[in-house]
């Protein structure tokens, strides 16, 4: 399954971010806790060179907590400041304020020695589409400042938001990178909703998800859909269609409806807390 999606506005957004990066002290990168590595745009490391770096693992309520802990250790060993959170429920917002100050401690100390007081930390908020940047900003600011939506590509332009006197945030559009060298990355991003569903083959996507779940979370599909997990993935999808009454008018299993059901229940957390990749 070949997954690629790089609309023209992402090229413009990347150029604008390259201009704006000189205005900030800190780069706050949101990643999806279910795919912490795949949801990192490799261009961000180059963009954020010589800036303080903070990784926020968002949607942690949907991810496997054991894996989230391991990913936190992995990123800290790479030199990043890290926090987990769920922006939709405001979970972890106080910890975010604390770690922003911690990440920029050297900058704040330099300002103090120079007699500069009350200059806010300026941070650029970056991440791929649908990772929750705007939801995070609105939760952090305590008001609706940024457009949100449960689909990729809602934010199209950069905007400054000041949630309090200590921090200024620059919201940026979600950007991917022009080509996924590893198609497993594209597959994982498609599963969590960072690529528009309209360009995807959901039947094939569901079969890939079934293969992963039977290998890494055995018993989960059996308990949820009353299926046999010792079958091939396509056969399991047919069982899901039958057991969930996803049938065509002619009485045949409707693979596409069953695939959409499975993917939706994965994304919403109804299947449980699942992480699609492990730290190396």
Cβ–Cβ under 8 Å, residues 121 and 100: yes
H helical segments located in 157-254: 183-192, 202-216, 220-225, 233-243
Residues of the chain with pLDDT under 50: 5-6, 147-156
**C-alpha 200 chain-centroid distance:** 18
Q: Tell the residue number behind the tokens 């180059």, with chain if given.
A: 46
Can you give the pLDDT at residue 205? 93
Can you give the pLDDT at residue 59? 95
**140: burial class by Cβ within 10 Å (0-12, 13-18, 19+)?**
buried
Cβ–Cβ under 8 Å, residues 191 and 205: yes
**249: burial class by Cβ within 10 Å (0-12, 13-18, 19+)?**
exposed
CA neighbor of 39 nearest in space, from 65, 13, 20, 58: 58
Distance CA 162, CA 165 (A): 7
pTM of the predicted protein model? 0.86
- Residue 7 DSSP code: -
Point out which residues pair with 247 in neighbouring strands: 253
Can you give the pLDDT at residue 268? 96
Question: What is the rounded end-to-end Cα distance, in angstroms, of the chain?
Answer: 23
Query: How many residues in total does the chain contain?
Result: 280
**260: burial class by Cβ within 10 Å (0-12, 13-18, 19+)?**
middle
Contacts 24+ apart (CB under 8 A), 221-228: 224/265, 224/270, 224/271
Beta carbons within 8 Å of 236's beta carbon, 6+ residues apart:
210, 214, 221, 227, 228, 229
DSSP string, 33-69: TTSTTTTS-THHHHHTTTSEEEEEEE-GGGS-HHHHH
């Amino acid at each position: 399954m070949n997954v690629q999606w790089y609309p023209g506005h992402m090229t413009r957004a990347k150029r604008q971010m390259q201009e704006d990066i000189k205005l900030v002290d800190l780069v706050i990168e949101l990643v999806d806790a279910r795919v912490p590595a795949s949801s990192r745009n490799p261009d961000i490391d180059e963009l954020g060179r010589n800036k303080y770096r903070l990784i926020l693992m968002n949607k942690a309520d949907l991810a496997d907590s054991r894996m989230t802990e391991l990913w936190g250790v992995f990123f800290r060993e790479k030199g990043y400041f890290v926090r987990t959170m769920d922006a939709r429920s405001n979970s972890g917002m106080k910890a975010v304020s604390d770690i922003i100050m911690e990440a920029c401690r050297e900058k704040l100390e330099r300002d103090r020695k120079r007699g500069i007081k009350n200059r806010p930390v300026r941070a650029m908020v970056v991440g791929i589409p649908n990772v929750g940047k705007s939801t995070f900003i609105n939760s952090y600011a305590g008001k609706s400042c940024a457009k949100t939506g449960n689909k990729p590509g809602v934010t199209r332009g950069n905007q400054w938001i000041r949630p309090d006197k200590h921090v200024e945030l620059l919201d940026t559009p979600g950007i991917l990178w022009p080509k996924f060298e590893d198609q497993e990355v594209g597959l994982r991003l498609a599963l969590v909703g960072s690529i528009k569903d309209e360009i995807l083959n959901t039947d094939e996507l569901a079969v890939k998800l079934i293969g992963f779940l039977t290998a890494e979370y055995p018993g989960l599909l059996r308990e949820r859909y009353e299926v046999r997990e010792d079958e091939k993935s396509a056969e399991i999808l047919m069982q899901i269609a039958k057991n969930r009454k996803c049938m065509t008018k002619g009485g045949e299993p409707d693979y596409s409806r069953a695939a959409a059901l499975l993917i939706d229940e994965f994304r919403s957390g109804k299947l449980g807390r699942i992480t699609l990749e492990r730290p190396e």
